[in-house]
Amino acid sequence: MKLFSFARFAAVLVKEFIQMRRDRVTFAMMIGVPVMQLLLFGYAINTDPHNLPTLVEMADEGPVTRAILMGMETSDFFDFQGVVTSQADGDRALRDGTANFVVVIPPGFERDVVRGLRPTILLAADASDPVAASGAVGAIRGIVDTAMTESLTGPLAYAAQTAPPVDVTVHRQFNPEGVTAINIVPGLLAVILSMTMVMITAVAIVREVEKGTMEALIATPVRPLEVMLGKIIPYVVVGYVQTALFLVAAGTLFGVPFIGSPVAFFAGFNLYILVNLAIGFLVSTVARSQMQALQLSFFTILPTILLSGFMFPFAAMPAWAQTLGTAIPATHFLRLTRKVMLKGATLADVAGNMVAISIIMVVVIFIALKRYRGTLD
């Protein structure tokens, strides 16, 4: 008996395409979900917020104060909503969320500046969300310094701060404007492919078992490899379509550059599709019903989003979480896409990531094949 029959493999492939075409809802999901995610993540999420509502408590007024407030306003971080007259009002505004910041100008501020007494401005921030507060908090020092240098000129120059002994120049590379979408969107491909590939593969295989068609199928001379390849390759095509869609949207809608090697990208994403199909196949050997397959697939999606470095910086996670994250293929693919698209990486630059994905794939396939033999019985 032949070990592999191309004719039988082709028959399974054709059947799978026909079924895919007839299942309109799933088909729509395969295209709809990535588009939706791209739009939501790309447009809605901003980890560097601007125009945060700010109130001022003014116990003094003068040119220096005006210069500082003007500087804050033009920095775009702060959006002045009005004035409070007491500390209690300011606290209340912070607590009920109508303001993220309250700037307190103490009494006698202008006078103390002129006298060179280094008075203190209070910036009370709602820091319950560190991401929302950090950008503005980091910027305030520079804003105040600039305002002082600009307003304390001529005879008042003595009161201005002397230049610090060391200058630091920050060079924001790869994403100079700090646009969140430029970081999120390349990572999104990892999440989209992982979500749809794992889920669809798992469900497609479990469906045959659940509906009983697998029994009739394996009662024919068909070989396991022919079934596996025939069922999986249509979804590889889906992965290609999703990636093409993604690349177009990334470039046109979000202005994400693609400056690296297309070959590195192509090799990486094929490898990544394979590893996700393998995971989907593994899920299908565990799940007994389509519902279970869905639940298990969702179970794999959460760590993909949280621990891969897609949403939150990988380096900021504790060691155990980083170890977990390293075992997730998305972690490595995410780095690969970001490197290639944003940092102009070549095939050699991403070799390490590809090796990591390959190792995960070998392990997954090994476990899946061991389990697959078990479930035939």
Partner 1 sequence: MTEGQDAPAIEVSGLTKVFDGRKVVDGFDMSVPRGAIYGFLGPNGSGKTTTIRMMCGLLTPDGGSGTCLGYDIHREAGEIKRRVGYMTQRFSLYEDLTIRENLDFMARMYGLPHRKEKVSRALEDLGLANRSGQLAGTLSGGWKQRLSLAACMIHTPQLLLLDEPTAGVDPKARRDFWDEIRRLSAKGVTVLVSTHYMDEAVQCDFIAYIAYGKKLISGPSRDIPGMVGLTTWRVTGEALGPLEAKLRAEPDVAQIARFGDALHVSGTDKAALDRLATRYEAEGPQKWVEREAGLEDAFIYLMTGSEDNFGLKGAA
Distance CA(163)–CA(360), nearest Å, equals 53
- Indicate the angle between helix axes 180-211 and 329-343, nearest 10 degrees: 140
The minimum distance between CB 277 and partner 1, in angstroms, equals 21
DSSP designation for 124: E
Decide the pairing of beta strands 122-125 and 78-84. Answer: unpaired
- Long-range pairs, 121-127, Cβ under 8 A, ≥24: 121/68, 124/90, 124/91, 124/94, 125/94, 125/100, 125/101, 126/94, 126/97, 126/99, 126/100, 126/101
Dihedral sign for Cα 288, 292, 296, 301, please: positive
Query: Which of 167, 377 has the CB closer to partner 1?
Result: 377
Q: Are the beta carbons of 114 and 153 closer than 8 angstroms?
A: no
- In the complex, the smallest distance separating the C-beta of residue 220 from partner 1, rounded to whole angstroms, is 4
For partner 1, the closer of residues 45 and 216 by Cβ is 216
Nearest approach in angstroms of CB 376 to partner 1 is 8
- Tracing tokens 């007994």 back to the chain, one arrives at 288
Least separation in angstroms between CB 12 and partner 1: 8
Of the pair 46, 213, the CB lying nearest partner 1 is at 213
Q: Tokens standing for 177?
A: 């404007």
Backbone angles phi, psi at 105, to 5 degrees: -95, 115
| Smallest distance from partner 1 to CB 21, Å | 10
Report, in Å, the least distance between residue 15 CB and partner 1.
Answer: 5
Cβ distance to partner 1 smaller for residue 18 or 362: 18
- In the complex, what is the shortest distance from the CB of residue 23 to partner 1, in angstroms, rounded to a whole number? 7
What is the spatial distance between Cα 272 and Cα 241, in angstroms, rounded to a whole number?
Answer: 14
* Plot region of 164 (φ>0 → left; ψ -120 to 50 → alpha; else → beta): beta
- Buried b / exposed e over 174-195, threshold 16 CB at 10 Å, is ebeeeebbbbbbbbbbbbbbbb
**Residue whose CB is less far from partner 1, 125 or 232:** 232
Quote the least distance from Cβ 33 to partner 1, whole Å.
Answer: 21
Strands 122-125, 101-105: pairing kind:
antiparallel
Q: Which CB atom, from 151 or from 284, has the smaller least distance to partner 1?
A: 284
Please identify, using beta-carbon distances, which residue of 11 and 363 lies nearer to partner 1. Answer: 11
Taking the complex as a whole, the smallest distance from the CB of residue 265 to partner 1 amounts, in Å, to 35
What is the contact surface with partner 1 in residues (CB under 8 A)?
A: 1, 5, 7-8, 10-11, 15, 18-19, 22-23, 211-213, 215-222, 376-377
**Pairing state between β 78-84 and 52-58:** parallel
